[in-house]
Structure 1
């Protein structure tokens, strides 16, 4: 229970339905959809699309999504809504230019956006109200405008340099980023959403809208064709599962990085985490060392589903045991290999549970702040730079190539207990996400924290040769970690942003929303 003398927020409790997102308007719209008779999928889709208007630096219809969802007694299902490199993609061509990575701001980094295909598919197969009803809130706010929230303004300022060409006209005002309280409008996206509401996914992937996106890319030297857009398609897949102290953790499979969170927790099982100070140096050290090893495995093994061949090895108990044996409880390992993907933090996450206890865990992103920085001329659709998640290493499973899906950082998750879903959750934050999942699960299982406290608690992340510690850690902890050999830094931007809903046996729902973002949990 939190100390009510100190700043903080309470969890939200409700019985009929609950939603948690990183923006209050999206949360409110999702709850309204539930009150109108929509189910959790309807609410999640309506809220997710609106988040692209509320937080355009984070996500939008030019991005990708992954979704986990469940109904009581039907298990957890997964949908992969991530796009592919165009048919003309060539790692050899980029290597011939002397490149070692896929440039973040180039058309080569743009994979075909697949979230819209996934949303259309899920509205038809799992929703109740129909696509037209679900898109109306986003259409309204895209036209009427959304006041820019404080964290969104912070990110807008930090990511403004990514915007190029037509994107500067659509996402800057007089050449400057929007500030807190400024009203952002996206009339071009409103028109696109109207067309999708009327004619479905083909309104996005064929005809004028697809032509607008393809033209923005080919003008910069991209090899994307209208056939690439027409071929985009989401697909059902099989989740991956792990266990930690009586809890089952379900993650989205590759090309998502969810298996990394399971491996990280499997390594942590070999240490007495519960016996450590939850905000002390020992726990931060062990978690950092385990993350270095888990992420190194991720970078070696995870890729397009058709090219990931060693997932079973990655998740095997003996693999975790061998990695745990490499950890010195007192001294830091040298940094693992540099990440094979360009890690960043820009993603939105939404979770909804309805009165029938359908649960949805949905994550939706354009990758870096404002994605590639490339937007279509007429409609202002920002295009993701997920292709930066590929490697240019010849023969690597995650090598950039035609029609391939890159290794993705975005991962929705669900916790189970005794075979039943008890908590859909996600922790936004690019490469941080597996560490964020493991830490949230450990906060609950090892330290018995209540859900909001588990979300609020300070975070750390071994990333790119440094150990990032949020300002919530004491100076003495930073000193001890430095003495152990870590290069400690305090980042300007906080680590991640979590949203979660706990489904209690009493029938009560408990929602938590991260204060590191602008959002909230609401129920009824």
Structure 2
């Protein structure tokens, strides 16, 4: 079994995790452990992914939680058909961009009730547990209930993010997500007894325990007090959507993505553009590769900002995914000179940096594969939490445009364009790599980077995740510290404005399904997590 070049065992790093029966890769060890325990108890990959994901809302509350949304790609045991479920919520019926424009707003306030769309994740977990799981919802929610009551020690990366995002917490959220008014330190215990109670009710009574009655009223009360237009019917009507994935080829593999309103089409377009260049001939950490990738990202993200929206309002998806479009865009790239970023003028998603998402992938002994991403958008979401239960509400509505007539214009009942995207690779029709890359807008670029690291440079999944990253965003080219001074200088000479981000770019997880029956898990060192198998 070839897994790429062996790593340098003298240097810091991690080997891939290898197992035969089941594997989970995610950003916190407790969640990975819970997923594996679920598999050992006879659960399947969906049971395990839900168990791990909901627990991550307690382990990484700045990243995700039950007030958020999710998207899922999955296969059933014995099948290679990739299925998709859209667990993203909608704007309340009373929302309208015209009302915000009348207040002289040019974007949705990211920390106001206007940005809060109805949480879709709980409905998705309930539906997928019932239709695809084996153990039942109560079994999948039990670990998160336990840890929400007992508490979780705050891990290093989580403490780092908590400190950066604490200023976003307002009102009841400060009481629920701070310890005596201060940021938790590494190793201190974070508890969420209110969420434990909500999850107990959902485990017993299903989705209605969340979207109607006392829990929904708790969320509605805080939103109404702040001037939100949400009402009980918006919550009661929440429903996810089974949908069909989209895909695109790259040098013998196919990248499978969730369709809009996620931004997965951006990753396919980016790979289509990159396929017009001989990346394999370039130094993987050299200036030329970073330059070509940066220019492809600028063009792909500009298309994203113009075309992607609620699936009922997307009309140019085929154009965006066509190889002819990619070839035309590739022709705009000067191999020696940086272009001005066109995405700066095409109604970008709200410009505040947001890297706040969890991703979990699980493969079970029957080779059911789940690729699940779950988020509250920006750090601590809207910063608004319900009073009684401490449910932190997402600010996905900040992904809407306020431009009159734009496909992604905020309107009641619409889903906003989302940054979060789960992915899978298939080869010859066989699912070979469920994977995901967290990090807000970076995600399509991250998908393209992982795929090209593996396909063009022969890296194994762990090496592909470990390698330094670059991202062209908001007029700058961000380079992680792993790039050499020579590469930085060359890119500056090409016209890029180079910055070094204080936070590493994204975080990724992957499981390669070898035809030998071996599972190979990889987990990003930029996070606190791991891959575990049995």
TM bin, normalised by shorter chain, reads over 0.9
1:340 and 1:280 map into 2 onto residues whose CA distance is 28
Cα contact 2:273–2:330 (8 A) shared by 1: yes
TM-score normalized by structure 1?
Answer: 0.99
Are 1:417 and 2:427 an aligned pair?
A: yes
Are 1:36 and 2:46 an aligned pair?
A: no
2:137 and 2:296 map into 1 onto residues whose CA distance is 43
> Equivalent residue for 1:448?
458
> Equivalent residue for 1:269?
275
> Equivalent residue for 2:83?
77
Q: Give the counterpart of 1:47 among 48, 52, 71.
A: 52
Are 1:318 and 2:328 an aligned pair?
A: no
CA apart distance, 1:74:
4.7
CA apart distance, 1:143:
0.3
> Equivalent residue for 2:308?
302
1:73 and 1:55 map into 2 onto residues whose CA distance is 33
Cα contact 2:80–2:430 (8 A) shared by 1: no
Cα contact 2:287–2:488 (8 A) shared by 1: yes
Are 1:67 and 2:59 an aligned pair?
A: no
Structure 2: any 5+ residue segments left out of the alignment?
A: 1-5
1:397 and 1:332 map into 2 onto residues whose CA distance is 29
1:270 and 1:344 map into 2 onto residues whose CA distance is 30
Are 1:104 and 2:105 an aligned pair?
A: no
SS of residue paired to 2:164: helix
> Equivalent residue for 1:397?
407
SS of residue paired to 1:356: coil
CA apart distance, 1:340:
2.2
TM-score normalized by structure 2?
Answer: 0.98
Cα contact 2:148–2:192 (8 A) shared by 1: yes
Runs of 4 or more consecutive aligned structure 1 residues displaced over 3 Å after TM superposition: none
Q: Give the counterpart of 1:6 among 11, 33, 57.
A: 11
Q: State how 1:149-164 maps to structure 2 within 5 Å.
A: 149-164=155-170
> Equivalent residue for 1:362?
372
> Equivalent residue for 2:528?
518
In 2 relative to 1, CA 471–127 (structure 1 residues): closer, same or farther, beyond 3 Å? same
Cα contact 2:299–2:329 (8 A) shared by 1: yes
Q: Give the counterpart of 2:140 among 113, 119, 134.
A: 134
CA apart distance, 1:179:
1.3
CA apart distance, 1:174:
2.3
Q: Give the counterpart of 2:23 among 15, 18, 38.
A: 18
> Equivalent residue for 2:502?
492
> Equivalent residue for 1:387?
397
SS of residue paired to 1:337: helix
2:82 and 2:456 map into 1 onto residues whose CA distance is 25
Are 1:372 and 2:382 an aligned pair?
A: yes
2:197 and 2:436 map into 1 onto residues whose CA distance is 31
Q: Give the counterpart of 1:174 among 171, 175, 180.
A: 180
CA apart distance, 1:337:
3.0
Cα contact 2:301–2:343 (8 A) shared by 1: no
SS of residue paired to 1:188: helix
Matched residue count? 524
Q: Give the counterpart of 2:211 among 205, 210, 215.
A: 205
